């Protein structure tokens, strides 16, 4: 029997808080929107899905900026984040993540320029009228290069979605986080939250059925990955097993089972399947389901960021 009598040994180290969890959520959301918009462009379905694609491309840059703001808010030293862009450290996921965010912000902003210019020209964005010339210039440059930008955004979106999970997954000293499955899990979760957001904001249209199908695939894959993730922890070291039991029946179990699994995946999966098969789902139920997907996506990051702070 070992009894630790020094309280200082048992203190939880404060690592990352809600800012990082929310940043990872927004990163995944932006990644999902990037993949959808780029895919629609590259497969020639941009015109068919225009309202949804327009909403996606216009949402991505502000979402990335909001994510970067949260990341900055979490930093201990608020005046020195520029050091991230004076170094490139290939073995540090946070370093290449900073560069990915910058690159994706630039390419997504360029891809959004024609849509933003059209909004300003149509007089719908009166507050942005003074930016008309600058946005117009960007739009003229981006217009002929939209296909190249779509490729860049597709790759950037996939890498960004994976990165949000890899950032946590490479923390070898935190057994609950140290899993290679977190990258794919966060990417799939990001895709599902993006689909839910688009279905929430731009209902109806030919994109509805496609996005609902994407929801079914993403939720199913998410459940499989969550299962393998827990299995990986349960069959690993004693530290990892303790982390798994914390998620399954410990302090974070209620949030994990109710918010992440039930509300974030099982219930929306049921609603999406019903929608595809019977088409008898009311708008109220569908909206609730989309909100649950978004809440579940956020809960996944919050639970893993907080529960994962338990060290070796």
Partner 1 sequence: MARLAMAVDLERCVGCQACAVACATENEAPDGFVRRRVGEAVAGDSLVDLRLQFLHMQCYHCENPPCIPACPTGATYVNRDGLCLVDYNICIGCRACVAACPYGMRYPHPRGFVDKCSLCDHRVYSGRQPACVETCPTQALTFGDLDDSRSPISRAVLEARRVEQDRPETGARPKFYILNGAVGCAEVRR
For partner 1, which residue of 76, 123, 278, 280 counts as binding (CB under 8 A)? Answer: 76
- How many residues in the shown chain lie near partner 1 by CB under 8 A? 41
- Residue 212 or 243: the one with the smaller Cβ distance to partner 1 is 243
Instruction: Give the nearest distance from C-beta 153 to partner 1 in angstroms.
Output: 24
CA angle 219, 19, 168 (to 5 degrees): 55
* Least separation in angstroms between CB 93 and partner 1: 8
85-104 residues near partner 1, rule: CB under 8 A: 86-87, 89, 91-92, 94-95, 97-98
By CB under 8 A, is residue 284 in contact with partner 1?
A: no
Q: Which stretch binds partner 1 (CB under 8 A): 137-145, 165-173, 189-197, 296-304?
A: 165-173
Q: For residue 281, give the DSSP letter.
A: -
- Asked if 180 is part of the footprint of partner 1 (rule: CB under 8 A), the reply reads no
| CA-to-CA dists, residue 255 to 78, 250, 282, angstroms | 32, 10, 27
For position 75 contacting partner 1 by CB under 8 A, the verdict is: yes
Q: Which is nearer to partner 1, 58 or 242 (CB)?
A: 242
Tell me if 46 sits within 8 A of 155, measured CB to CB.
no
Site for partner 1 in 11-30 (CB under 8 A): 13-16
Closest to partner 1 by CB, 88 vs 285, is 88
Residue 233, CA distances (Å) to 219, 244, 307 in order? 21, 6, 13
The answer to whether 219 and 236 have CB atoms below 8 angstroms apart is no
Cα angle 110, 114, 118; round to 5: 145
* Mask for 193-232, x = binds partner 1 (CB under 8 A): ----------------------------------------
CB of 90 to partner 1, least distance (A): 9
Cα–Cα distance measured from residue 172 to residue 175, given in angstroms and rounded to the nearest whole number:
7
CB of 259 to partner 1, least distance (A): 23
Residue with tokens 């999902």: 32
80 touches partner 1 (CB under 8 A) = yes
Residue (of 240, 244, 245, 199) closest to 218 by Cα position:
199
Query: Closest distance between partner 1 and the C-beta of residue 92, in Å?
Result: 5
Angle at 115 (CA atoms; ends 113, 116), nearest 5 degrees:
60
Q: Does 74 bind partner 1 (CB under 8 A)?
A: yes
Stretch touching partner 1 by CB under 8 A, among 2-10, 58-66, 122-130, 243-251: 2-10
Which position among 6, 123, 124, 284 is part of the footprint of partner 1 (CB under 8 A)?
Answer: 6
Whose Cβ is closer to partner 1: residue 81's or residue 206's? 81
**Which CB contacts under 8 angstroms, 24+ apart, belong to 203-206?**
203/283, 203/286, 205/49, 205/51, 205/52, 206/48, 206/49
C-beta of 203 vs 311, nearer to partner 1:
311
Nearer to partner 1, 122 or 172 (CB): 172
Q: Which residues, other chains included, contact 282 with Cβ-Cβ below 8 Å and sequence gap of 6+?
A: none
Kindly give, in sequence order, each residue whose CB lies less than 8 Å from that of residue 255, ignoring residues fewer than 6 positions away: 299, 302, 303
Query: Structure tokens of 135?
Result: 């946005």
Q: Which residues contribute to the site for partner 1 (CB under 8 A)?
A: 1-6, 8-10, 13-16, 74-78, 80-81, 83-84, 86-87, 89, 91-92, 94-95, 97-98, 170-174, 177, 237, 309, 311-312
């Amino acid at each position: 029997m070992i009894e630790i009598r020094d309280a200082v040994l048992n203190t939880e180290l404060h690592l990352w808080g809600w800012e990082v969890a929310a940043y990872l959520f927004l990163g995944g959301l932006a990644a999902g929107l990037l993949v959808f918009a780029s895919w629609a462009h590259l497969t020639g379905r941009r015109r068919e899905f225009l309202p949804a694609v327009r909403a996606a491309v216009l949402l991505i840059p502000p979402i990335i900026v909001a994510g970067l703001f949260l990341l900055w808010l979490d930093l201990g030293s608020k005046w020195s984040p520029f050091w991230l862009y004076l170094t490139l450290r290939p073995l540090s996921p946070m370093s290449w993540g900073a560069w990915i965010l910058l690159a994706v912000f630039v390419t997504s902003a360029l891809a959004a320029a024609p849509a933003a210019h059209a909004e300003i020209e149509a007089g719908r964005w009166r507050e942005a009228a003074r930016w008309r010339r600058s946005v117009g210039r960007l739009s003229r440059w981006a217009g002929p290069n939209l296909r190249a930008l779509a490729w860049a955004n597709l790759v950037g979106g996939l890498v960004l979605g994976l990165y949000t999970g890899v950032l946590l997954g490479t923390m070898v000293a935190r057994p609950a986080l140290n899993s290679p499955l977190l990258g794919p899990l966060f990417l799939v979760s990001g895709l599902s939250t993006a689909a839910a957001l688009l279905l929430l904001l731009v209902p109806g249209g030919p994109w509805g059925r496609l996005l609902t199908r994407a929801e079914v695939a993403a939720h199913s894959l998410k459940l499989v990955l969550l299962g393998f993730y827990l299995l990986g922890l349960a069959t690993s070291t004693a530290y990892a097993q303790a982390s798994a039991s914390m998620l399954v029946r410990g302090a974070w179990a209620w949030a994990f089972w109710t918010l992440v699994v039930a509300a974030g995946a099982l219930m929306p999966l049921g609603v999406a399947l019903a929608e595809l098969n019977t088409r008898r789902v009311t708008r109220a139920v569908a909206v609730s389901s989309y909100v649950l997907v978004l809440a579940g996506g956020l809960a996944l990051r919050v639970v893993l960021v907080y529960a994962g702070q338990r060290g070796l």
